[in-house]
Chain A
Amino acid sequence: MNPTDVKNPEYFHKVVDCQYACPAHTPVPEYIRLIAQQRYTDAYMINWESNVFPGVLGRTCDRPCEPACRRGRIDEEPVAICRLKRVAADNKSDVADRMPKIPEQKNGKRIACIGGGPASLTVARDLMPLGYSIDIYDNQPMGGGMMRSQIPSFRLPDSVLNEEVNFILDMGVTTFFNTEVTSMREILDKNYDAIFVGTGAPKGKLLNLPGLEEASDSVYIGIQWLANVAFGHTEQVAQKVIVLGGGNTAMDCCRTAKRLGGQDVRVVVRSPYADMKASPWEKEDAQHEGIPIFDNHTPKEFVVENGKLKGMMFEKVEAVYDENGKRSLVPTGEDWVFMEADVVLMAIGQENAFPWVERDLGIAFDQWDMPKLDKVSFQSTRENVFFGGDAAFGPENVITAVAQGHQAAISIDLFCRGESLLDRPAPHTNLVSTKMGVHEWNYDNQVEIDDRYVVPLVDLDKALSDRKVEVELGFDREIAFKEAERCLNCDVQTVFDESRCIECDACVDICPTDCITFTANEEDESVLRAKLTGPSNNKTQELYVSAALPTTKVMVKDENICLHCGLCAERCPTTAWDMQKYFYSVTKAGQAA
């Protein structure tokens, strides 16, 4: 194989598994170290720069970083990355003086953001410091989008959300709340320099089953019902509640119902338990609150007596997989099952809807009625209209909305300055040695063996008595330190200098996880992998291949399960290995060098 080009910023970036997996590429190990050093405010700001809502995300993020975390490949469970983020938010001091300065002198460009969710707020966050004037339109009474209307207060307290939304609004954004935008043409007529559409995926799906019409008074669309609860329009629910669906919305619906007076609250889902869309921890949380989940039940009809909903009929199914692994749910032939209900909440998915965007404005839509967009710039077919967040490619999550908001802001800035949208700024990177002495590093290279710490919860009775009581208490500082110490510091890179190596094999012998091999090079990656010291079966992880050494062999390091313990560098008599800290951050609008 060709020698690895470690100058390519993406090479070492990929080694930092969590950061690479994070849609906004938050420098995770950097903030985890800052937490261990009790520098909570610094840890918070590193997060804020990347993901804008550390307090929100530290409680609610879908955490794609955790399944990617290297620790999960060598230990039972990954680092509790998400909940450490919350620790930074909970323990930070006043950050007002760290917020970007907003120029008094505006640059004369006006931007409209339709929707006030995380995507639009991120656009505003990035463009306000550059002197843009920003108008946000949203049909809700306050900013935050679905973070406010959908994510229940027992997972995300209002105070946390308000603080982080206000950091942005206080930059001087002009807000038009309680304002439904019904015509894109009208917005265009206001002559904004650019328009960002961050309206999310606001339409909940409804299953049209027999009896729906008669039962309609007692059947609600989950996301509408949650919004009504969030804004105080719905304060209680009847005793028997069926929640249909197996995603996170279903979990939020059932847990909310349990707090509003529901006694017999149950989740009924078509798929097997293991296949449910909800994150494992959301399912666990619901079950912990005494909510049973009935899987393999397909809803068939509403049972209505004297105009009043009595319950629902379900057909039992089982999952059958064909040779391609494609699943179908096949009825078992058993009798239908009746379940009683006073209320049914439908949490079976959301969709985008753009009835307010006239189709003659040059904004093209595809066969699924989604806007046609450039995947990198988020520009629509009308050059000054951009989309981002759930409105762009369908429902995702907050961190994706933020990541896309950052990219859309770059595009809008380039567009307003008349530059090419293809000229995306390179990431900011920095690689420095951590060497402090002969065998000393400025990071904690000891690998702790502790199991993942569990986040303590509030007393269950207390939690269920009030929908505003936050369930998770968060880590205290002491546990946060211990959890932070589980992090392997994957950003401290093993950097190899072939000109120094004397091929003594010391690094090969010391490496606890058999990462390093000196061997004859091979053209074919799989042939080379087969020759390595340790099993090398994770093809998603790179091989670091050196140039040829004096013996004509090459050094090959399988990045897969390197502990970043630095022992290779400590053992190397010639400092051919060095442990170097790699900082990678996505460049934001206006920051390009």
Chain B
Amino acid sequence: MSYQIPKFRHPELPKNQLGYTKADYEGSISTLCAGCGHDSISGAIIKAVHELSIEPHKIAKLSGIGCSSKSPTYFLGKSHGFNSVHGRMPSVVTGAAMANRDLLYMGVSGDGDTASIGLGQYGHVARRNLNMVYIVMNNGCYGLTKGQDSATADEGSVSKKGEANPFSAIDLPAIALQIGATFVARSFSGDKEQLVPLIKAAISHRGFALIDVVSPCVTFNNTPGSTKSYEYAREHMEATGTVDFVPMHEEITTKYDPGKTRDVTMHDGSVIRLKKVDDSFDPFDRLSAITALEKSRESGQILTGLLYMDKHSRDLHEALQTSRTPLNQMNEHELCPGSKVLEQINQSLR
């Protein structure tokens, strides 16, 4: 078994605007099971962040507990990281973001971490529209603790244990939509062509950006009766459309049929170009997204792609008017202005 990855990389690896290659965004060698979907998502994150030319030290990756939550070790090795408590990643991100809004917050969680123990925190972070990317590596089971059905396992789905799941599934995008999330997407670990642009768009979005990624657990939940297996996901995937991401510094050169495509300029100046498959679907209309999700659930499909985006999203920093300057860049006097100021504040509240 190799516990080390060879040092050598492709000698002609493309460099991004910062002069970094993809290798500069890698992490340690993964210890997940061979073939785990989570590793592919890690690969997609590396690709997206490299292509966006984000400085590694401007990113913080935070997670809870689970195989999925372990995965930040396997990407962005030069970024900040916080492996928190089971289901509590959102509150740690909230704290960090309040203290320093300059970092890109990349939350990574599992379906157990998010939909079981962490459901409460998940709801609140979505509702508050905290500016973060929230990736759920969704395998329908508790991989780390040997594959118990999780709350996202579909009713009737049969994992390696061999018993059909008796409960109905929590649909994380549907909850996020209900609760007020401003960017909701779903994808599949085995489809980087879709996933990478979605991650880029989620990074560019200001506000809470959920990507629920079906990510098969090869060891416990890649069975013929499972609805979270590679084969099932591939056969039942249905995309709302395609998403192309054009970074701010690049010119848009290709022209598309205007009836079918829409360009959306993000707050950082990048453009996402959406190409629709179905005319009745509108990703800027919450009702349309909710309807589409329900319809696909009824027909047994897995609806993927960008499901919803609020172009006018106001994130938590705007709502609370938090400090622009990170706390770690303030001096003692600014952080602790003294008892007089406190007195004034108290007075104003009387």
Contacts and interface: CB of A to CB of B under 8 A. Distances in A.
Interface of A: 73-75, 438-440, 445-447, 449, 502-506, 508-510, 512-514, 534-535, 537, 550-551, 561, 563, 565-567, 570-574
A504 B33 CA distance: 12
Given A73-B11, A503-B234, 17 more contacts: A446-B6, A502-B231, A504-B230, A505-B190, A506-B36, A508-B43, A509-B40, A513-B8, A513-B10, A514-B13, A535-B13, A550-B231, A550-B234, A565-B2, A566-B2, A571-B35, A573-B222
B190 A573 contact: no
Nearest to B231: A502
A74 B10 CA distance: 7
A508 B30 CA distance: 13
Contacts of A573: 33-35, 218, 222
A572 B10 CA distance: 21
A502 B35 contact: yes
B15 to A, nearest CB: 12
6 contacts: A440-B1, A447-B6, A504-B37, A509-B40, A534-B10, A571-B39
B8 A506 contact: no
Given A505-B190, A566-B2, A574 B35 contact: yes
Contacts of B29: 510
Contact of A447 (B1, B7, B192, B218): B7
Interface in B3-43: 4-14, 29-30, 33-37, 39-40, 42-43
A571 B34 CA distance: 4
A551 B234 CA distance: 8
A504 B40 contact: yes
A298 to B, nearest CB: 39
B182 interface: no
B216 interface: yes
Nearest to A563: B6
Contact of B2 (A74, A446, A506, A550): A446
Contacts of B2: 439, 445-446, 565-567, 570
B8 A502 contact: no
**3 interchain residue pairs of minimum CB distance:** A573-B35, A439-B1, A447-B6
A59 B48 CA distance: 51
Contacts of B187: none
- Output the residue of B10, B40, B230 with the most chain A CB within 10 A: B10
User: For this complex, into which size category does the number of interface residues on chain B fall?
Assistant: 20 to 34
A502 B230 contact: yes
Nearest to B219: A573
A238 to B, nearest CB: 50
Contact of A506 (B6, B7, B35, B192): B35
Contact of B40 (A73, A506, A550, A565): A506
Contacts, number: 98
- Output the residue of A75, A509, A574 with the most chain B CB within 10 A: A509
Contacts of B43: 505, 508-509
Nearest to B23: A512
B1 A449 contact: no
B221 interface: no
A104 B9 CA distance: 57
Given A503-B190, A505-B190, A573-B34, A512 B6 contact: yes
Contact of A561 (B11, B14, B34, B234): B11
A106 B234 CA distance: 70
Nearest to A73: B11
B10 A561 contact: yes
Nearest to B35: A573
A574 B14 CA distance: 31
A502 B36 CA distance: 12
B189 interface: yes
A502 B189 CA distance: 13
A563 B8 contact: yes
A505 B40 contact: yes
Contacts of B11: 73-74, 561
Given A504-B190, A551-B234, A510 B5 contact: yes
A355 B234 CA distance: 76
Contacts of A506: 34-36, 39-40
A563 B190 CA distance: 25
A508 B196 CA distance: 15
A505 B213 CA distance: 15
Nearest to B218: A573
Contacts of A508: 40, 43
A73 B11 CA distance: 8
Contacts of B37: 504
Contacts of B7: 447, 449
Nearest to A75: B8
Interface string B157-196: 0000000000000000000000000000000011010000
Interface in B125-178: none
B226 to A, nearest CB: 13
Given A439-B2, A571-B35, A574-B35, A505 B192 contact: yes
Contacts of B36: 506
Nearest to A565: B6
A439 B3 CA distance: 10
Contact of A567 (B5, B13, B192, B222): B5
A572 B8 contact: no
- Output the residue of A75, A447, A570 with the most chain B CB within 10 A: A447
B340 to A, nearest CB: 57
A260 B61 CA distance: 72
B4 A446 contact: yes
Given A440-B1, A566-B2, A509 B42 contact: yes
A500 B12 CA distance: 31
Contacts of A440: 1
Contacts of B30: 510
A535 B42 contact: no
Contacts of B218: 504, 573
A386 B222 CA distance: 65
A570 B42 contact: no
Contacts of A449: 6-8
Contacts of A504: 35, 37, 40, 190, 216, 218, 230
Given A502-B231, A571-B34, A512 B9 contact: yes
Interface in B218-263: 218, 222, 230-231, 234
- Output the residue of A513, A571, A574 with the most chain B CB within 10 A: A571
A512 to B, nearest CB: 5
Contacts of A445: 2
B160 to A, nearest CB: 13
Contacts of A572: 34-35
Given A505-B40, A551-B234, A570 B12 contact: no
Interface string B96-108: 0000000000000
Contacts of A446: 2, 4, 6
A513 B22 CA distance: 11
A514 B192 CA distance: 15
Contact of B14 (A509, A535, A550, A571): A535
B305 to A, nearest CB: 18
A537 B40 contact: no
Nearest to A502: B230
B10 A514 contact: yes
A75 B190 CA distance: 32
B189 A505 contact: yes
A573 B43 CA distance: 17
Contacts of B222: 502, 573
B8 A512 contact: yes
Nearest to B40: A505
A534 B216 contact: no
Contacts of B40: 504-506, 508-509
A47 B84 CA distance: 59
Contacts of B35: 502, 504, 506, 571-574
